[in-house]
Amino acid sequence: MAENPVRAAVMPEPGAPPEVRRYPLPPLEPGAILLKTLASEVCGTDVHLWHGRLAGVPYPLIPGHVSVGEVAAVHGEVHDVEGVPVRVGDTVTFLDVHGTCNACWYCLVAKAGTRCPYRKVYGVTMGADEPPGLSGGWSEFIYLKPGTKIVPLAKNVSPDAFIGAGCGLPTAVHAMELARIQLGDRVLVQGSGPVGLSCAALALLSGAGWVGVIGSPEKRLAVASAFGADWTTDVMETTVDERLRAVRDATRGYGADVVIEASGNPAAVPEGCQLARDNGRYVIVGQYTDNGDALINPHLLINKKHLTIQGCWGSDFSHVYRAMEVLSRFGRQVDWSALITRRYGLNDVAQALADVEARRVVKAVIIPD
């Protein structure tokens, strides 16, 4: 075998173009797993990594924080989260992208795992040159350290469906948990990216009586409709007042019982408060980077409306686990692989990042071959 047989796409430093580098296969310590990568997601976070917008990231970096692979080797007896032994040849994902420390105040007292300051995320917080290496999914192989949580792909879930759902689906599962949708609720989703589309799908699967989506461009809204949304509108071609009137009309004048913000646009927030009914719930899950301030009237939009606003950050293991359940259960109703617009090889990750940034694709996937 060649000395450095493993090819990986690497971000050398903030702002620099990604390149393909070669790495050795590290020896497996007891409890470790070597995964042959089948597919790895490109998500908006990777664009931020590319531009160096996240603090505390060790470069050079092999990105790729949600991936599916085939177990190539395992050292000793390793179990998945339900206690089943992991075998060579299994198709699995690894969910320690959500590894929390279980030792700090946020983990133990506040029970706010997604705010744990010591989270370790493959493809984000582990540098390519830190031993043992191979710590991201844009690589032919991924080295899973002992203790990494392994989840086998359900038999009827394809790698395409899993990666199409990507990290947006667990995030949406988290948002749904906080949205507490009841049978018949009218739900309005702001945003038609991967998180917004997953929120719309999950609202429908949760028994919502009506689901509307405000987004853009048209082809993303078409996916929302294909998922079953009752109403969509293009945010670029309508005014706030028009949207407010349309949602009021669709909700007998009350406004939506539940609004989910998944747009990333600060201006969506005051609009979302208006779209919600009095005493409704508003889950804000899309403001993942600092895009500035919003002007909000706390009397009219919060206090007098008796509104509940819930910020929703990230996802934890339970959300990934439930995401797998959803993919397995409802794969015939909702085709998450339809979110994948295009697949890219390791040499094409720069193109993939550019396409995601320009919203030319809904979901880009790296196939490291």
CB atoms within 10 A of CB 1: 6
Q: Cβ of residue 95: shortest distance to a copy of itself, in angstroms?
A: 9
Q: What is the DSSP letter of 184?
A: T
Which one, 81 or 88, has the nearer CB to a copy of itself? 81
Which one, 3 or 293, has the nearer CB to a copy of itself? 293
Which one, 93 or 139, has the nearer CB to a copy of itself? 93
Q: Cβ of residue 179: shortest distance to a copy of itself, in angstroms?
A: 11
Q: Cβ of residue 67: shortest distance to a copy of itself, in angstroms?
A: 19
Report how far residue 12's alpha carbon sits from residue 171's, in angstroms, rounded to the nearest whole number.
28
Q: Is residue 116 a contact partner of residue 96, using CB atoms and an 8 Å limit?
A: no
For 194, residues 6+ apart whose C-beta sits below 8 A from its C-beta are 43, 165, 166, 168, 169, 339, 362, 363
Q: Cβ of residue 82: shortest distance to a copy of itself, in angstroms?
A: 6
Which one, 83 or 89, has the nearer CB to a copy of itself? 83
Report how far residue 171's alpha carbon sits from residue 323's, in angstroms, rounded to the nearest whole number.
9
Which one, 1 or 332, has the nearer CB to a copy of itself? 332
Q: Cβ of residue 158: shortest distance to a copy of itself, in angstroms?
A: 18
3-state secondary structure of 212: strand
Cis peptide before 132, with omega less than 30 degrees from 0? yes
Q: Kindly tell me the burial class for residue 21, based on how many C-beta atoms sit within 10 Å of its own C-beta (0-12, 13-18, 19 or more).
A: middle
Q: What is the DSSP letter of 300?
A: I
